A = this chain, B = another copy of it.
Amino acid sequence: MAKDRKIDMVILGLLAHENLSGYDIKKRIDNSISFFWKGSFGSIYPSLSAMEKDGLVQKADTGENSGGREKICYSITPDGKNALISWLEDTKAVNDLKYETLLKLFFGGVTDVQTSINTINAFENEISASLEMLKMYQANLSKVLDNKDHIYYYLTVSFGVETYEGYLKWCEEAKEMLGKLS
């Protein structure tokens, strides 16, 4: 059994759906799951090599090469699928959240109120932009819910929409409360 490298599971999960190259995997991560999970080339390529050695993935036919350098596609093996499923069946899941925004706010009393308001505004702007995108994804996915996989994608996007809307509501409340101080 592999260690606990979650990037392995991300890759296996994506390969369970379609054959992909390392470069494609990065793109899938960036525009599908990046709001709750990230990955870089420096972790993807070594993970693919390690999993190939362990027989969890194997090199597959490379589809059309869309220009550029040679492309190496991978497929998931039966062993890889078993590893993916045992991970999925373990209900233990670590949700590791690091909000530097909250950290700054928690220590806001050290300096002036406007500094905290600025921090909240920066957060609000970032979240507003992301929320727009998530809502577009959500709207598109809601039209194709007859596909079983799409339901799962829809649920994760909905999680994002729900929490991001909560963030924005909180931003307003927080700024109102801080506004009374200054």
- List chain A positions with a Cβ less than 8 A from chain B: 6, 9-10, 13, 16-17, 32-33, 35-38, 81, 84-85, 87-89, 91-111, 115-116, 118-119, 121-123, 148-149, 151-156, 158-159, 162-163, 165-167, 169-170, 173-174, 177-178, 181
Contact = CB atoms under 8 A, between A and B. Distances in A.
B91 A107 contact: no
B170 A109 contact: no
5 contacts: A38-B96, A88-B115, A91-B118, A109-B148, A109-B151
A155 to B, nearest CB: 5
Which secondary structure dominates where chain A touches chain B?
Answer: helix
B152 A163 contact: no
A95 B99 CA distance: 4
B37 A92 contact: no
Contacts of A119: 88, 91, 93
B181 A148 contact: yes
Nearest to A173: B158
Given A93-B119, A105-B152, A163 B174 contact: no
A39 B168 CA distance: 27
Contacts of A93: 99-101, 103-104, 119, 122-123
Contacts of A96: 38, 97-98, 100
A61 to B, nearest CB: 22
Contacts of A169: 162
A94 B100 contact: yes
User: Which A-B residue pairs are the 9 nearest by beta carbons?
Assistant: A13-B107, A93-B100, A91-B122, A166-B166, A109-B149, A36-B99, A93-B101, A108-B152, A36-B102
A67 B17 CA distance: 58
A41 to B, nearest CB: 18
